[in-house]
A and B are shown apart, each in its own frame.
Chain A
Amino acid sequence: MPLALEARNITKRFPGVLANDKVNFQLEQGEIHALLGENGAGKTTLMNILYGLYKADDGEVLVDGKSITLSDPRDAIKHGIGMVHQHFMLVPVMTVAENVMLGTEESTPRSSFLGPLSRLNIRAVEDKIRALSTRYGLIVNPSDYVLLLPVGVQQRVEIIKALYREARILILDEPTAVLTPQEARDLFNIMRSLVAQGVSIVFITHKLKEVLAIADRITVMRAGHVVGSTTPAQTSEAQLAAMMVGREVILEVEKGEAKPGAPVLKVEALNVLDDRKTPAVRGVSFEVRAGEVLGIAGVQGNGQTELVEAITGLRKVESGHVYMGVDDQVNHSPRQIFEHGTAHVPEDRQRHGLVLSYPVRDNLVLITYYRPPFSKKGVIEEDVVAQNAARLIEEFDIRTPGAETLVQTLSGGNQQKVIVARELSRSVKLLVAAQPTRGLDVGSIEFIHHRIVEQRDAGSAVLLVSAELDEILALSDRVAVMYKGEILDILPIQEATRERVGLLMAGVHEAR
């Protein structure tokens, strides 16, 4: 039987980077093949080439044993290749039906002679969608607006988009990044059912446990080339991690016992609205003590972003209290909150945490520039700023040609190090870290985890918010789970098993 999809000697260069280096990849008919690698290994690039979004500099692509040319997604779709991207390619203000039919629109029979100016036949499309829905078990309502759909359902829409175009090969890019453990299990069931109906699946991920759970075969990529292929039976998490990174990886974070002290942050009955003016944080209460890490677990979109923004002064609080010691900091400005001893490593490092067009030197004083010693009577003391930069670059091992280098040229890991250096270089009572290692390479992840534990041991209170359950379980002393704006439960680390936390993340909890 010919291979469903094959990539031979694919090479792709970007300015300054060899993203794919003579990559070979084979997808058998009816298998689930996992493509594993850490961020920046080249997996998404390869898949984008297979889907026609990028053109390879060299190499060829074969479908069902025959070489094909891929100049844009239309070609890929024509050959039965469909792709579900990590960040959904859905137009939020349009309905499911409109999104699905985009590009392959159907016209009403009477007007079809007008071509692109004919009248859209939405009814026919909706019927087709319902048929696909039933056949594959992907329940969606064609007339819903995508904007209002939960993330798991949006993903189903993306899969239906591919099936509507008669895809026989499905590429899933980090599909479980936005799902709870239960939703991920549901997705795996859907994948198995698709395979049973003749679809072959490639799925890209960096999550080792998943790969072992669902894949028939695993291919590991590192720094642009394929390191090797194997099957779940023949390998282990540790081995896969080593293949991904190229060296022995310690999967556990070394940390000693926590010695928690007095409560530093006390959140009481907090209510916060999101951008659409719907409640995002509903009556949340918790406290974080000095010398401990409180991890907030939960799939993105359950109010964690808004919670962090409220605590750090970036979002208005409707009601409730945020006590730092005895002061209620609710609706204080970010500057006031910072001056009272809070450091914030923001979730979106490029949007909030850094000014990309500024040099490293300026980013390192982004929060403190207005105070002595960095400013005297409103005038900036450039010497002090320069000294500070030199010191922090060394102390935090920021890989940069110099303090004058613009931050936008740094790698993700080093950009994050700039933020961490800035926030952790002053003594803080509370460190709020939101998704601190998202998209980073393993080396940087280790470094930042180490620093967080260091802060904890030095007596700071640490509030860690992360969608990566592994990270929460590795670093936290207590684990809180957020679901639909509420904290469902707070467990000491010993009681926080994957299963228990997973259930809470899906909204299932024992009555209190």
Chain B
Amino acid sequence: MDFHSLLDLAPSILASALRTATPIALAAYSGVLAERAGVVNIAIEGMMLMAAMVGDLVMLYSGSIWLGVIAGVLSAGLLALVHGALSITFKTDQIISGTAINIFATGFTGFFYKRFLATPTLSRPSPSTLQPIKIPLLGDIPVLGDVFFQNRPIVYLMLILTGVIFYVLFYTPWGLRVRSVGEHPQAADTVGINVFKVRYISIFLSGLVAGLGGVWFSLEQVGHFDMLMTNGKGFIGLAAMIFGKWNPLGALGAAVMFGLPEALQINLAMSFPDIPYQFMSMIPYILTIIVLTGVVGRAIAPAADGKPYEKG
């Protein structure tokens, strides 16, 4: 694989990486939204799975992909509220309640898949995925245009969210309050901020964003739901969040880093034909572990992350 052909391929690899990074980045943003308010959310995987299934289900019965997207996103938000109730009101250990949500989602989606989706009585719209949208003018720019302005809708939404979340979190009153609740909920309480309300809203938003990541799988990438199709991306997203220091910009960079191996898979397989494909598949997961050991920078979570808030 010589240098020139690598250069030629670079835009398509980058575009590919942006695409594979999308679900990871959305998972990471979901994590950021929740953890900045002090709620640990390891149920992102389950929420994504739920959204993917519900999205496909609604698309099948309504004939509209976008309706499926909305339904999927909302279903994840609903699931997030359950996690929120368990963690915030009932003060369950947040890792355990997150795990319960994951188990529930696995069972629930599997159940519905077998009942309605494996052998559907209706047919899905054709095509059953969201199509790429080329932005006029900007899409014609060489290189940059190919990478950034000829993507499918959810990728655009992800990029927009990056900026929005960054702005809201660090430049607005709402963001200030969220961060205070995540760092020192008692201090927030004493100035009259309703810690529970802020956390509930945050976890709901977290669910919505996870839901967007989930429908990416079934409605933008594949075209239908498969059992367990999220394949651990929800957890990799958490690693991206940690690596990105709970900041959406950093998380995006991390997500691209995690997405690259998958984007390069074909190229890598061609360059190294002797290595079995399973080892290539392992790379993102091993990379995650390396990141977590802080080899590339130790991260400090919001101070009250994971601790239920008790008044008084």
Contact = CB atoms under 8 A, between A and B. Distances in A.
- Does A pair with B? yes
B127 interface: no
A120 B184 contact: no
A90 interface: yes
B172 A91 contact: no
Interface in B243-284: none
Interface stretch (A69-77, A195-203, A299-307, A442-450): A69-77
Interface residues on A, range: 20 to 34
Interface stretch (B5-13, B54-62, B139-147, B174-182): B174-182
A152 B179 CA distance: 25
Contacts of A416: none
Contact of A117 (B172, B189, B194): B172
Given A93-B303, A104-B191, 16 more contacts: A51-B190, A72-B192, A73-B190, A83-B190, A85-B190, A91-B180, A91-B183, A93-B183, A94-B180, A102-B191, A105-B176, A116-B173, A116-B177, A117-B172, A120-B173, A120-B176
Contacts of A107: 173
A103 B177 contact: yes
A392 B312 CA distance: 34
A415 interface: no
A98 interface: yes
Contacts of B171: 119-120
Given A54-B312, A77-B192, A119-B171, A89 B184 contact: yes
A118 B173 contact: yes
A115 B177 CA distance: 13
A92 interface: yes
A113 to B, nearest CB: 13
A414 interface: no
A43 to B, nearest CB: 15
Contacts of A91: 179-180, 183-184, 187-188
B187 A102 contact: yes
Contact of A103 (B172, B183, B193, B312): B193
8 contacts: A48-B312, A51-B190, A72-B194, A74-B192, A98-B176, A102-B193, A103-B193, A105-B173
A72 B193 CA distance: 9
A88 B184 CA distance: 10
A120 B174 CA distance: 10
Interface string B190-215: 11111000000000000000000000
B99 interface: no
Contacts, number: 80
A30 B36 CA distance: 42
A269 interface: no
A259 B303 CA distance: 49
A89 B186 contact: yes
A89 B176 contact: no
7 closest A-B pairs by beta carbon, nearest first, are: A74-B192, A103-B191, A105-B173, A89-B187, A116-B174, A73-B192, A91-B184
Contacts of A104: 191
A94 B168 CA distance: 16
Contacts of A92: 183-184, 303
A85 B194 CA distance: 19
Contact of B190 (A89, A93, A101, A119): A89
Interface residues of B, number: 23
B190 A53 contact: yes
A73 B184 contact: no
Interface string A161-189: 10000000000000000000000000000
Contacts of B190: 51, 53, 73, 83, 85, 89
A216 to B, nearest CB: 27
Interface of A: 48, 51, 53-54, 72-74, 77, 83, 85, 88-94, 98-99, 101-105, 107, 114-120, 161
A155 to B, nearest CB: 14
Nearest to A165: B191
Contacts of A116: 172-174, 177
A103 B184 contact: no
Interface in B284-312: 303, 311-312
Contacts of B179: 91, 94
Contacts of B192: 72-74, 77, 103
Nearest to A74: B192
Contact of A120 (B172, B189, B303): B172
Contacts of B191: 73, 77, 89, 102-104, 161
Nearest to A104: B191
B160 to A, nearest CB: 15
A89 B184 CA distance: 8
A77 B190 CA distance: 10
Contacts of B193: 102-103
> Which among A89, A91, A117 has the highest number of chain B CB atoms within 10 Å?
A91
B172 A119 contact: yes
Contacts of B311: 53
Contacts of B176: 94, 98, 101-102, 105, 120
B174 A90 contact: no
A102 B176 CA distance: 7
B166 to A, nearest CB: 13
A252 to B, nearest CB: 37
Contacts of A117: 168, 172-174
A88 to B, nearest CB: 8
A54 to B, nearest CB: 6
> Which among B191, B194, B312 has the highest number of chain A CB atoms within 10 Å?
B191
Contacts of B186: 89
Contacts of B187: 88-91, 99, 102
A73 to B, nearest CB: 4
Given A90-B184, A92-B183, A73 B172 contact: no
A286 to B, nearest CB: 35
B176 to A, nearest CB: 6
B303 A73 contact: no
B2 to A, nearest CB: 47
Nearest to A107: B173
A117 B176 CA distance: 10
Contacts of A105: 173, 176-177
Contacts of B177: 102-103, 105, 116
Contacts of A115: 173
Nearest to B173: A105
Contacts of A77: 191-192
> Which among A89, A99, A102, A117 has the highest number of chain B CB atoms within 10 Å?
A102
Contacts of B174: 116-117
